[in-house]
Amino acid sequence: MEPKPTKAETIVQRLLLAAALTAALIGGVVGLFGEAAEMPWLATTAENQRAMAACERVHGTAPRHRCAERVVAERTRAPDPGATMQASARNVSRTQ
C-alpha cells in the first residue's frame, strides 16, 4: 500500500490540477477569439479600401476605431427588404 500523501503534497497536487485546467480553459478561449480576429470583415475592394483609408487619417485611436466600425457596419448591413422590393419594381416597370 502506498503511504497517504501529506497535506502539503495534496495542496501541491490540487494547485497543479487547477493550473492545468485553467491553462486549458484560457487556451480554448484564446483559440476561439484568435480565429475570429483573423476573419476578414470586409472584402478587399477599391471602395472599401478608400473608406478605410479615410478612417486611417482620423486622429486618435478611439475615433479611428469608431470610424472603422461605422464603415464595416454600413458595408455588412443586411439589405433592406423594402428597398429591394422597390428596386425590383423599378426594374420591372422599365422592362415593360
Q: Nine-digit cell at 32?
A: 476561439
pTM: 0.42
Average pLDDT, integer, range 75-83: 72
Which cell numbers in the block locate residue 25? Answer: 480553459
pLDDT digits (tens, 9 = 90+) for 11-60: 999 999 999 999 999 999 888 887 766 666 778 889 889 989 999 999 99
Answer yes or no: is pLDDT of 83 > 70.
Answer: no
User: What's the rounded Cα separation, in Å, for the pair 61 and 43?
Assistant: 23
Q: What pLDDT digit, counting tens, does each position of 52-68 carry?
A: 999 999 999 999 999 99
pLDDT band at 74 (very low <50, low <70, confident <90, very high): confident
Rounded distance between C-alpha atoms, residue 63 and residue 61, angstroms: 6
How far from each other are the two terminal CA atoms of the chain, in whole angstroms? Answer: 94
